[in-house]
Amino acid sequence: MVVSKINEVRDQLHRLYQSFEMGEAFDTLPDQMTDLKLSLVYAARRTKVVPRTEGAVEDLQALLKKVSVDLINDENEDENKVDDETLMLLLKNSGSLNEAIRDRGIFFVVSGLMNRGLLQDEQIWPALQYLTSDEVLYDHILEPENDAVFGRSMAVLLCSVFLVADQIHGRVLTREQYWSVIEKIACYILLEQDARGYVPNYGWAHAFTHVGNVLSAMADSQLTRAQKLFFMTSVMVAYQQSTQSFSFGEDQRIANATLEVATKEPFYAKYLVRIFQVWPQRTPTDPRVSGVDFWVKWYNRTHYFLNLMVVPDIPQVLVDFIKKLPEY
């Protein structure tokens, strides 16, 4: 049942993209995507989350320590490259609820390998295929707030690392491969309802910040204009319709990432204004009626725009729109 619901959303999203790509939904896409977001039905109860891990914790800790030490000592680069089996073992444990293993272990090791150029060309696509598989990216996503968010969100963060690696390695992904990753993450962020930041005893959830990292990585990709605008729309619609307050820098990350896209050419900035125009129309307008929902969305919007306005090179068309916004 869950799989069929996710497939239904994915199919609807793909149809929206096909229409948008053909130029049939340029003005209406933000509204159509908002309709899709608001139509989502989530389960009333959560089921047991089994953390996504593999192998003994002690062995994994030893492996993380060894690779970390090698990176710090900057030993012979060829010797520091991880084999496919080792890399996949790290990815398969990225759903661990142990902050030291997940956030301060696996993420830092994989990003360290990327920064040092130690990932191999042929490792990038299989890693992204695993991280965007349904079992990983949509794990328990239709249920109330649950521990699977740490694995889902970490998968997105690691996707951003491998997308940056693709750019560093001279674009080893085909456009079709790259878009398949982005399209799945577009579906993910529309489905994701857990907007927690730092969670005591568990570490970072930070789903929206991590999606911002993907949006930033995508800005310089080989994707088409339609693909870039489509993904930016999905991120902005999800941000606009979040029912949770962002208090761990998500507003700043999303603002900076959208600007990285919007500043590529004037057309992108004009389209971002089109997304902005939908915002006040599709969120509560009266605090006396909507109460906390109004204030959550109003402050999320206000903080996003404030973060845009402090950027020196913000396109004037965005400034003009923001200055005309009413206080409420």
* Residue 76: per-residue pLDDT: 54
Residue 81 has, within 13 A of its CA and on its CB side, a CA count of 11
Confidence label for 81 from pLDDT (cuts 50, 70 and 90): confident
Confidence label for 322 from pLDDT (cuts 50, 70 and 90): very high
Average pLDDT over residues 219-234: 97
* Residue 80: per-residue pLDDT: 65
For residue 70, pLDDT beyond 90: no
For residue 213, pLDDT beyond 90: yes
* Residue 106: per-residue pLDDT: 96
Q: What are phi and psi of 320, to 5 degrees?
A: -60, -40
For residue 78, pLDDT beyond 70: no
The reported pTM is: 0.95
For residue 115, pLDDT beyond 70: yes
For residue 105, pLDDT beyond 70: yes
For residue 250, pLDDT beyond 80: yes
- Domain layout of the chain by residue ranges: 2-323
Tell me how far CA of residue 136 lies from CA of 2, 88, 272, in angstroms: 14, 13, 30
Tell me how far CA of residue 113 lies from CA of 67, 79, 107, 159, 294, in angstroms: 9, 12, 10, 14, 44
Average pLDDT over residues 314-324: 95
Average pLDDT over residues 192-219: 97
Distance CA 214, CA 191 (A): 16
For residue 75, pLDDT beyond 60: no
- What does the block give as tokens for 101? 């293993």
Kind and range of the H or E element at 198?
strand 198-199
Kind and range of the H or E element at 191?
helix 175-191
Which residue did the predictor score with more confidence, 77 or 66?
Answer: 66
